[in-house]
Structure 1
Amino acid sequence: MRVYVPLTLSCLAELHRSRQTGPAPLTAYAVTPALREWYLSGSLEELEYAALSRAAQASLRLLAADPKTPRRRVVAAADVPDRTAVADPDRALMAEALGEVRLTEAVPLAAFASVHVDGFEAEPDVAAAAEAVAAADLGDDDARFTVDGAADHELLWYGVQEIEHLL
């Protein structure tokens, strides 16, 4: 199963150093049955983009919790055994948890297929979004508008072998 793991550049540096994510459990995003149901007519590619986008928003929450890390969203895509990515049935249909899975094992660096990172030009919008994400989660429409401003920036694709250059 392809999963999208929300990170920050600091987390990515730790992944590169330790050669794995962890410890488990970790939150990631994937094309789950609930996500498929929500997007009734999406192709697999569109559904994977939706899961990637959900992980990018989760990266904002990580940025909000770590004000010292650079203000760029990071999502790493990995292929993991289906049994290690478990959706919480109590949260599966909640809008804020669509596509969310718990990884029951650390993911080795070798399982990662790509890394998706904001470009430098996104930093001001991502910084504002990281500050606003908690209020947006509570229903503040102005904060939601600010968070959506970060989503206007497409994440750039990098191969796993390029992580060292990103850092």
Structure 2
Amino acid sequence: MDAGEVKKVLTGKIGLQIGDQKIIYKEKEKGNGEYLDKCGVKDRSKLILMEDPSSIERRYIEMRKNARIQTAYQVISNVSMEVDKLVEQVFAIEKSILNGVKVPEIQITTLIEMLMRQAIKLDNISAEENVSTQKYLQSKRVQWCVETLDVLKISNPLIKPVVVAAKWETFDPSPTTSRWEFF
């Protein structure tokens, strides 16, 4: 039996993959293709099984990478929900302006600033391969909203404010009114 076959048997029992195991006999590591009987291993010989230190490091690096990806997805999800709310406000402003209602400029400017904060959050995400598409899509949504608001901001002052004026009736004093009543 070679060292690789021993590792296969142990994989099911201890849960370590073959590449993560090291078999040591007489202070020397035995490779997967080495036959143990040719190395002097006999019945009741003592073998040492170790977890390969480089596999621990690889798993740790993979775990950290997955954690970064999960964090990035969470940030993108939060940004997406916030942008959904802001998109509704963009549509409301657009509808108002298209219907001829003048919108206060501060409202448009504040909305642009809120969108830019979301863009900054997206820029701070390190784009791993599988996260970059989501990041790109959200960035495009934010960009579209800001561009739409910029156009609306330009067309907003062109709307004439609606002025409601009432024509007041005036009454002439009647001839029966005495002079002292005018004071």
TM-score normalised to structure 1 length: 0.22
Structure number with the higher helix fraction is 2
Asked which structure has the greater RCO (Cα within 8 Å, sep 6+), the reply is: 1
